[in-house]
Amino acid sequence: MDNGKIIETVGLTKRYGPQTAVDHLSFQVEDGEIFGFLGPNGAGKSTTLLMLLGLSRPTEGSARVCGLDPIRKAREVKRLVGYLPENVGFYGDMDAVQSLEYVAGLSGISTANLGDKIERLLDLVGLKAEARKKVGAYSRGMRQRLGVAEVLIKDPKVLFLDEPTLGLDPDGALRLIELIHSLNRDHNITVVLSSHNLYQVQKISHRVGIMIKGKMVAEGSMEKLAQDKFGVGDKEYSLEEIYMKYFQEV
Ligand SMILES: Nc1ncnc2c1ncn2[C@@H]1O[C@H](COP(=O)(O)OP(=O)(O)OP(=O)(O)O)[C@@H](O)[C@H]1O
Ligand SMILES: [Mg+2]
């Protein structure tokens, strides 16, 4: 990895025909941090994550994830990064244990002690009691938690979470945010957290990036962003107020 950077992009660009979804994006995510990835609908956040995963080819510019080119080193990058997409797909006929065995098989995880690992993960995400229930009968929050367990099975160094708390009730969202926090704090996993829930992002992020119309208009700690826009520390302003200020000025 290059100088403690988990992600580095330079001039990263994605065009779909005449439309520029990601426009010469340059930003960095540091090893060990939670990076809140913010921006309005259609800003280009999910497109950026897809390029960082090697699932979409940049039109221009470059990206490094753990020092690797996501297109040329696709397999290595996928091995290091756990990705929870916007819409998580499941096989409704399987229960949680079967789902995790299936995902482990797809990822080529060795089967030694897999049972123990699955049990530990289900405990970690709070699904132990529902382990044998068919996933088709899971609530949305339970499915999101299973999605987190699925991405953790390969022991990722980095997590890309695209709106993980969308549609969860307040208690479920809070518990998932606390889980993400503990994965970062206790298991040293770097997290890129894309979300429209600024209160949740503010609670656990070390730094945030605000993407608007394909460009990163702000990047840094909430303290720095508040200082840049209001000339005072972040104790005075919520992330929502800071975000709205940037949003209104673009
Ligand atoms: N496969 C595609 N083909 C054409 N246009 C696309 C494609 N994927 C994304 N776009 C366009 O790129 C732009 C950025 O979309 P993207 O999904 O990255 O936004 P986002 O920031 O994730 O938004 P949201 O907060 O709504 O999830 C949008 O205008 C979208 O319509
Ligand atoms: Mg998106």
pLDDT per residue of the chain (250 residues) written in tens, 0 to 9: 557 899 999 999 999 999 999 999 999 999 999 999 999 999 999 999 999 999 999 999 999 999 999 999 999 999 999 999 987 778 889 999 999 999 998 888 877 889 999 999 999 888 999 999 999 999 888 898 999 999 999 899 999 999 999 888 888 889 889 999 999 999 999 999 999 999 999 999 999 999 999 999 999 999 999 999 888 766 778 999 999 999 998 8
**Which tokens belong to 207?**
């730094």
Q: Is 45 in the pocket of ligand 1 (CB under 6 A)?
A: yes
Q: How far apart are CA 10 and CA 3, in angstroms?
A: 15
How many A from CA of 40 to the centre of ligand 2?
Answer: 9
Ligand 1 close to Cβ of residue 51 (< 6 A): no
Please tell me if the CB atom of residue 57 comes closer than 6 angstroms to any atom of ligand 1: no
Tokens 């221009």, residue located = 60
Specify the pLDDT at position 35. 98
Nearest to residue 217, comparing CAs of 178, 177, 239, 248?
248
Query: Is the Cβ atom of 13 under 6 angstroms away from ligand 1?
Result: no
C-alpha 38/C-alpha 60 separation (Å) is 22
Q: Is the CB of 14 under 6 A from ligand 1?
A: no
DSSP character at residue 88: -
- The closest residue, in CA terms, to atom 16 on ligand 1 is 44
The token pair that represents 218 in the structure block? 């702000």
Query: Mutation test of ligand 1: which of 47, 162, 195 has the most ligand atoms closer than 8 Å to its C-beta?
Result: 47
C-alpha of residue 134 to centroid of ligand 2, in Å: 28
Distance CA 191, CA 151 (A): 12
Q: Is the pTM of this model over 0.85?
A: yes
Tell me if 166 sits within 8 A of 201, measured CB to CB. no
Q: What is the DSSP string of 180-205?
A: HHHHHHHH--EEEEE-S-HHHHHHH-
Q: Where are the domains of the chain?
A: 5-19+28-89+157-249
Q: What class, spelled out in words, does domain 5-19+28-89+157-249 have in CATH?
A: alpha beta
CB 12 within 8 A of CB 51: yes
